[in-house]
Amino acid sequence: MAAPAHTGHIGSLKLYLGIWGLLLLLTFTTVMVAFVDLGPFNIVVALVIATIKGSLVALFFMHLRESSKMTMIVAVASLFWLFILLSLTMTDYVSRAWSTRLH
Amino acid sequence: MATSDIQIAEHALQHHFADMEQQRETASFGMWAFLLTEVMFFGGMFCAYLVYRAAYYQAFVQGSQRMDLLAGAVNTAVLICSSLTMALAVRAAKMGKSKTVVTFLLITILFAFAFLVIKGFEYHGHWVDHQFPGPNFHFEPLKGPAVDPLHTEIFFSLYWVMTGLHALHVIVGIMLITWLVTVILRGRVSAHYYNPVDTVGLYWHFVDLVWIYLFPLFYLISKQHGS
Amino acid sequence: MATAVQTVERENYLNSNYGIKSWLLTTDHKRIAMLYLVSITAMFWIGGFFAMMIRLNLLTPSGELVTADTYNKLFSMHGIIMVFFFLIPSVPAVIGNFVIPLMVGAKDLAFPRVNLLSWYVYMLGACVELTAMVTGGVDTGWTFYTPFSTTYSNTHVIGAALGIFIAGFSSILTGLNFIVTIHRMRAPGMTWRRLPLFCWSNYAAALIMVLGTPVIAITLLLVAVERGLGIGIFNPQLGGDPLLFQHLFWFYSHPAVYIMILPGMGVISEIVTCFSRKRVFGYEFVALASIAIAVLGFLVWAHHMFVAGISVYAALVFSMLSYLVAIPSAVKVFNWTATMYKGSIRYDTPMLYAFGFIGLFTMGGLTGIFLATLGIDVHVHDTYFVVAHFHYVMVGGMVMAYMAGLHFWWPKITGRMYPEGWAKLSALLVFVGFNTTFFPQFVLGYMGMPRRYHAYPPEFQVLNVLSTAGASILAVGYVLPMIYFLWSLRYGEPAPPNPWNAVGLEWMTPSPPPTHNFDETPVVTWEAYDYEHQPQEEVTVGH
Amino acid sequence: MWINFPLFPQRASAMAWQVDGLFFLLLAVSGFFTLLIFVLIFVFSVKYRRSVHPHPVQIEGSLPLEMAWTLIPLGICMIFFAWGSLIYFQEARPPQDAMQIWVVGKQWMWKFEHETGQREIDQLHIPVNRDVKLVMSSQDVVHSFFVPAFRIKQDVLPGRYTQTWFRATKVGSYQLFCSQYCGTNHSQMIGEIIVMDPMAYQAWLGLGGASGSLPANGRQVFQQMGCASCHRSHGQGTGPDLAGMFGKPVQLSDGRTVVADEDYVRNAILNPGAQTVAGYKPIMPSFQGQVSEDNLDALVAYIKSLAQPQPNATSQMQ
């Protein structure tokens, strides 16, 4: 019979509230940064902040931090395949302009 | 109390699992694998977004200026709050506090509805302004260079499809949480068996995660050009 | 266990419960496999009927049997049914569903109710698809290229796309179940290195199902939305890019061919070892080749688009990567061949099909190299060369493997032996018929006959007639098993638990297995394909 | 009954030899491997059949063998990759001085327009031994321009230009197919390429059928649509001067530099906001839907002709 010890780690209330505060703060930051002209870096900053927020949600709220190695692999795999889809599709779009330069 | 907990757990152990631990890990792993599918599901649309944003950047800037930034930001906060309450619900479930779980789940549902209501007002605004793709689409840029309205229409197509499918996920989430509440009220969940809370929680956090990306991609494209 | 054969009344998954409800509400993976078997067989005959109509129409250059519109609908529906409703669920959902839990020593798949749900989702998808077909059909080809599908076609594109969308979720659920089962439900001692190769290859296929299917789902959803609401994501007249559709479509649909072939490869690994009575040559390489195919398979999709107007540099990258995915397939073929070296080979029907598979898959795979080669692909792309190539892989490969697996596990599934003589005859007919049908199409393709042509220039007629003649032999080859399998259900000899004297946990259960598979969870202490320690005596049932 | 029973396509372009050469080599290599597998399976299954070889010899595997049949095929593959890519690159880059044909695909016919103004449907007359560049677009769905005898194929897309080229080496008539499924009469969307010796071609040109050269037609469209009111010469208009622009790099307002090729000019007409020339205001309206595919080709040809010192298309032909 399963012992209570098997029921998984219980995170502290403080931690959850702290992550929550951090997420709200980051949301505020990303909105503010959007009004500053950083040229092409606006999107970079926005995506970096979104990725930090996403990682916080995954690591703490979804308990990825204390999950099995297999679960981590699944999470990383999702990003890897998304990367394949986006990057290989973009190889076509980005380099289409190159071919015209050759003429 | 402890014995009834174990009885609940015995009842919940399906015949093909060796023990509760295997069953719990299997359920959680299954949900993660499902989220893998979900990532790719939204991934196809993110791919389309990337391609057209690169091609029609100005149109995307101008489309983005028509987004209600305040509503988007508030909605982001609302979903983050709902994520917190969901995380707390899972935490309470692990501790076996059924009543607290139900309370947090109900608050989560409230946040979810709040999100949908705000989103609904936004949708209504876009609809009234003819910013719904199709024959009635009409777009006047606020500021900046003239762009092909067809390209802003693509921006709005992606906006409606992506946020629409996200909203659909929110609705499914509400249904799942409601189901969860009934399951808990019927006393089927205990500190020994909280798989349903755990897996629904994972799903709900994923819904939040998608929005965390949708928000900057639609609401925050180069605000400074418009202000 | 040998006494189990005589005990007719022994409880098994077939007689444990009776009535239609006990089938429609079952969560037993073996019964769900049977539900799938019946459904996909029906779909196979529907798709096969379309194929026969296509071949008959092509007897004459002017295509007199049906009109151009009907012909277009025929090949579209043939493709849709065969790809999405037969090939993709074939080995995984029928044989995999039945055998994988037995092979890993589990009492069921990880999520039995999800498994049943996947069948219902499949049936819903099939019903939507068939409704779309009965009420007028669809003429876009199974590829749904835009803007033809979104704007110009006058047929039931939305219904057809929706059917595939729904069926996609059935495939995702099956894939999920396999992945989780193979990770979490293995019996004690069943390490990854002891896992039968059939599980490895289904695991690899399941990865593709989970990762690729959602992309086709969203793509077809966008097509349906675009057609319904008039938005322009893929429509150039509205600022969209039709090539984006092709990218998203092939991102799934190229790996999808590995969903179809990988489980077939798994079947062949089981059969070649069993009938050679040998451990598989280079176990690790065969196992990892499956995973390599699944991963590399995602990097090559744009080789379907070399002449579609993509950038030449992207074409270069995709061509290079396409060669890479050919290598693990070659490794598998070499390893199977080497497995037979110094074996002790018997020619039962499954082995005959396996021979056919290896030969035809080799030809199908090697002609794939022609298509990966940029300069040659420009000429043969969208011709009958491509049609021949993928039928060599899908029919010569996958359907052969499916037939091989069905014969191999039929005694386990039904508890009855099939008639060996008839089965051998049908294997021969399938092999001869198949080659007569599809080899001429390679020649036609290089000569330049484009695919999806309702009528064609007269100089192509001789080869087309030959192809149609072959198709009729092939049809007989497929009808025969249908008859003798049904016959064997009633009149076949009762099967012993292990008619092939094979190793593997599934052969340690009685035939047919009891509902809970194993009375006690087995503990595995031996390697996969441990034929060295398997008793040698011949079991002569069925000869 | 069946008199005409070929097993191999005609070979009528410079490219055909190259493609066939690679094809035969690949055929030989894959034939060898197919035969190898077939022979091995046959020999093993006869030699080690159970009745003569009842006791199998268990073999784990062999790392050297695995390496061999991983690396050798990979090496062979890379040879074909390199060779195939060379051919592909040649096919993708039309020679500079090729004569140009404008092709429009529509359900279910091919329309051709010569620089000299001749228009043809489902038939294309071209001189032998001359590089011919095809600039193609579609009026509706995706089509594909396929001439088996030349071993060329290129999809024809709505909304943009795609290009291919060939050099016919044999006088004769060759089949043209649409190879991308395009609807009901896809199989009727066929035509012929008539390759003529230069004398006969000149005679054919003399037959007439030309309603003014294509650039001249384009000039008319240019006037009719009021383009000239902004695009005046010597930079006096509100739009850029188009003379001498074609084929040169253009600095765009967003900092990029692109070469003004057919596709750029086409896009600049249909979607002016996307690639505005640096120093000009993005005020040009879009002509999407207001100019037919044929007129669009004519406009592009006209703007192209402005870049040539002697915009005399016929004199180039010799």
pLDDT in tens, D153-178: 999 999 889 999 999 999 999 999 99
Residues in chain C within 8 Å Cβ distance of B44:
214-215, 218-219, 222, 248, 251
Say which residues have a Cβ less than 8 Å from residue D6's Cβ, sequence separation at least 6. C447, C459
Distance of CA B109 to the CA centre of its chain: 12
Domain positions in chain C: 25-533
Residues in chain D within 8 Å Cβ distance of C324:
74
> Could you tell me which of B119, B55, D100, B184 has the C-alpha nearest to residue C244?
B55
Per-residue pLDDT reduced to its tens digit, C268-323: 999 999 999 999 999 999 999 999 999 999 999 999 999 999 999 999 999 999 99
Residues in chain C within 8 Å Cβ distance of D154:
307, 309, 378
pLDDT of residue A102: 43
Q: Cβ of D52: how many Cβ atoms within 10 Å?
A: 10
pLDDT of residue C526: 87
Residues in chain D within 8 Å Cβ distance of B55:
274
Confidence of residue A83 (pLDDT cuts 50, 70, 90): very high
Cis peptide bond N-terminal to C494, omega within 30: no
Cis peptide bond N-terminal to D108, omega within 30: yes
- Strands D172-178 and D191-196 come out as antiparallel
% of residues, chain D, pLDDT over 70: 92
D59, exposed or middle or buried, with CB in 10 Å at 0-12, 13-18, 19+?
middle
Q: Is C340 on the interface with D (CB under 8 A)?
A: yes
Q: Report d(CA B204, CA B163) in Å as an integer.
A: 16
Q: Is C29 on the interface with A (CB under 8 A)?
A: no
Structure tokens at D98: 């090729």
Q: Do A98 and C313 count as a contact with CB atoms less than 8 A apart? A: yes
> Could you tell me which of D22, B133, D50 has the C-alpha nearest to residue C375?
D22
pLDDT of residue B4: 60
Nearest to B58 among D273, D283, D288 (CB): D273
Instruction: Report how far apart, in Å, the C-alpha atoms of B84 and of each of A23, A96, B115, B166, C368 are.
Output: 10, 45, 15, 19, 52
Q: Do C148 and D181 count as a contact with CB atoms less than 8 A apart? A: yes
Beta partners for residue B193, in sequence order: B190
Residues belonging to chain D with any Cβ–Cβ distance to chain B shorter than 8 Å:
271, 273-274, 276, 282-283, 285-286, 288
- Strands D131-138 and D162-167 come out as antiparallel
Q: Is C250 helix (H, G, I), strand (E, B) or coil?
A: helix
Residues in chain B within 8 Å Cβ distance of D285:
146
Distance of CA D45 to the CA centre of its chain: 49
Residues in chain C within 8 Å Cβ distance of B163:
none
Q: What is the interface size between B and D, counted as CB pairs within 8 Å?
A: 22
Beta partners for residue D194, in sequence order: D125, D173
Residues in chain A within 8 Å Cβ distance of B94:
7-8, 10
Break chain C down into helix, strand, coil percent, rounded to 5. Answer: 70, 0, 30
Q: Is A10 on the interface with D (CB under 8 A)?
A: no
Touching subunits of D (3+ CB pairs, under 8 Å) are A, B, C
- Determine the average pLDDT of the residues in D42-68: 92
Structure tokens at B22: 């295997």
Structure tokens at C50: 């379309």
Q: Cβ of D251: how many Cβ atoms within 10 Å?
A: 12
pLDDT of residue D250: 81
> Could you tell me which of D110, D137, D105, D144 has the C-alpha nearest to residue D124?
D110
Alpha-carbon gap: D256 to the closest alpha carbon of chain A (Å): 11
Cis peptide bond N-terminal to C147, omega within 30: yes
pLDDT of residue D4: 64
- Strands D99-106 and D152-156 come out as unpaired
Q: Do C214 and B30 count as a contact with CB atoms less than 8 A apart? A: no
C303 or B2: whose pLDDT is higher? C303
- Determine the average pLDDT of the residues in B200-205: 96
Q: Report d(CA C125, CA C112) in Å as an integer.
A: 20
Looking at chain A, the number of H-run helices and the number of E-run strands are: 3, 0
pLDDT of residue D269: 83
Beta partners for residue C44, in sequence order: none
- C434 pLDDT above the threshold of 80: yes
Q: Which of these ranges, B77-91, C332-346, D106-120, has the smallest mean pLDDT?
A: D106-120
Between helix B149-185 and helix B98-128 the angle, nearest 10°, is 160
Domain positions in chain A: 12-62, 65-94
% of residues, chain D, pLDDT over 90: 50
Q: Do C279 and D84 count as a contact with CB atoms less than 8 A apart? A: no
- D3 pLDDT above the threshold of 80: no
Q: Is B21 on the interface with A (CB under 8 A)?
A: yes
What sections of B186-194 are H helices per DSSP? Answer: none
Instruction: Report how far apart, in Å, the C-alpha atoms of C219 and of each of B101, C252, C356, D91 are.
Output: 38, 10, 36, 31
Q: What is the 3-state secondary structure (H, E, C) of C221-260?
A: HHHHHHHHHCCCCCCHHHCCCHHHHHHHHHHHHHHHHHHH
Report which residue type is found at C3. T
Instruction: Report how far apart, in Å, the C-alpha atoms of C406 and of each of C99, C429, C482, C495 are.
Output: 11, 17, 11, 14
Interface of C with D in 57-86 (CB under 8 A): 63, 68-69, 72
Q: Is A50 on the interface with B (CB under 8 A)?
A: yes
For an interface test with B, the pick among D269, D276, D286, D290 (most B C-beta atoms closer than 10 Å) comes out as D286
Contact (Cβ atoms closer than 8 angstroms) between residue B177 and residue B108: yes
Residue with tokens 């695009």: D231
Per-residue pLDDT reduced to its tens digit, C63-72: 889 999 999 9
Strand ranges, E, within B160-211? none
Q: What is the interface size between A and B, counted as CB pairs within 8 Å?
A: 151
Residues in chain B within 8 Å Cβ distance of A47:
213, 216
- Determine the average pLDDT of the residues in D183-209: 90
Interface of D with C in 256-295 (CB under 8 A): 271, 288-289
Per-residue pLDDT reduced to its tens digit, C310-352: 999 999 999 999 999 999 999 999 999 999 999 999 999 999 9
Say which residues have a Cβ less than 8 Å from residue A13's Cβ, sequence separation at least 6. B88, B91
Q: Report d(CA B14, CA A101) in Å as an integer.
A: 64
What letter does residue D276 receive in the DSSP assignment?
A: P
**Could you tell me the maximum CA-CA distance found in chain B, to the nearest angstrom?**
72
Nearest to D157 among C309, C455, C531 (CB): C309
Confidence of residue B56 (pLDDT cuts 50, 70, 90): confident
Q: Is D286 helix (H, G, I), strand (E, B) or coil?
A: coil
Contact (Cβ atoms closer than 8 angstroms) between residue D175 and residue C457: yes
Beta partners for residue D176, in sequence order: D191
Q: Is C421 on the interface with D (CB under 8 A)?
A: no
> Could you tell me which of D1, B124, D5, B180 has the C-alpha nearest to residue C459?
D5
Q: Do C307 and D155 count as a contact with CB atoms less than 8 A apart? A: yes
Specify the number of domains making up chain B.
1
Q: Which of these ranges, C470-474, C513-517, D83-87, D263-267, has the smallest mean pLDDT?
A: D263-267
Interface of A with B in 65-84 (CB under 8 A): 67-68, 70-71, 74-75, 77-79, 81-82
- D255 pLDDT above the threshold of 80: no
Interface of A with D in 16-55 (CB under 8 A): none
Q: Report d(CA B85, CA C41) in Å as an integer.
A: 49
Alpha-carbon gap: C451 to the closest alpha carbon of chain D (Å): 7
Q: Is C86 on the interface with A (CB under 8 A)?
A: no
Confidence of residue C1 (pLDDT cuts 50, 70, 90): very low
Q: CA angle, corner C478, sides to C475 and C484, nearest 5?
A: 135
pLDDT of residue A99: 59
- Strands D109-114 and D99-106 come out as antiparallel
Confidence of residue B55 (pLDDT cuts 50, 70, 90): confident
Q: Report d(CA C20, CA C11) in Å as an integer.
A: 18
Q: Cβ of C486: how many Cβ atoms within 10 Å?
A: 11
Q: Cβ of D297: how many Cβ atoms within 10 Å?
A: 26
Nearest to C232 among B47, B55, B150 (CB): B150
Confidence of residue A6 (pLDDT cuts 50, 70, 90): very low
Sign of CA dihedral C476, C478, C481, C484: negative
Interface of C with D in 352-381 (CB under 8 A): 355, 358-359, 362-363, 366-367, 369-370, 372-379, 381
Say which residues have a Cβ less than 8 Å from residue C511's Cβ, sequence separation at least 6. C5, C411, C412, C414, C415, C495, C496, C497, C499
Alpha-carbon gap: B3 to the closest alpha carbon of chain C (Å): 27
What's the predicted TM-score (pTM) here? 0.91
Chain A residue with CA closest to C315: the answer is A92
H-run or E-run covering D115:
none
- A8 pLDDT above the threshold of 60: no
Confidence of residue D29 (pLDDT cuts 50, 70, 90): very high
Chain B residue with CA closest to C112: the answer is B16
Q: Do C239 and B37 count as a contact with CB atoms less than 8 A apart? A: no
Confidence of residue D311 (pLDDT cuts 50, 70, 90): very low
Strand ranges, E, within chain D? 99-106, 109-114, 119-121, 123-127, 131-138, 143-147, 152-156, 162-167, 172-178, 191-196, 249-251, 257-259
The domain defined by C25-533 folds into Cytochrome C Oxidase; Chain A (1.20.210)
Q: Do A98 and C298 count as a contact with CB atoms less than 8 A apart? A: no
Q: Which of these ranges, B183-192, B205-214, C121-130, has the smallest mean pLDDT?
A: B183-192
Q: Cβ of A12: how many Cβ atoms within 10 Å?
A: 9
Q: Report d(CA C532, CA C534) in Å as an integer.
A: 6
Report which residue type is found at C466. L
Residues in chain A within 8 Å Cβ distance of C310:
92, 96
Nearest to D26 among C369, C381, C448 (CB): C369
Contact (Cβ atoms closer than 8 angstroms) between residue C273 and residue C343: no
Q: Report d(CA C29, CA C418) in Å as an integer.
A: 23
- B151 pLDDT above the threshold of 80: yes
Q: Is A100 on the interface with D (CB under 8 A)?
A: yes
How long a stretch of residues is chain D? 318
CATH code at position B119: 1.20.120.80
B83, exposed or middle or buried, with CB in 10 Å at 0-12, 13-18, 19+?
buried
- Determine the average pLDDT of the residues in D46-66: 91
Q: Do C183 and A70 count as a contact with CB atoms less than 8 A apart? A: yes
Sign of CA dihedral B14, B16, B22, B27: negative
Per-residue pLDDT reduced to its tens digit, A40-74: 788 889 999 999 999 999 999 999 888 888 889 99
H-run or E-run covering D19:
helix D14-47
pLDDT of residue A4: 41
Q: Is B51 on the interface with D (CB under 8 A)?
A: no
Alpha-carbon gap: A13 to the closest alpha carbon of chain D (Å): 50
Phi-psi region of C137 (alpha: psi -120 to 50; beta: other; left: phi over 0): left
- C5 pLDDT above the threshold of 50: no
Q: Is D162 helix (H, G, I), strand (E, B) or coil?
A: strand
- Write down the ipTM of this complex: 0.90
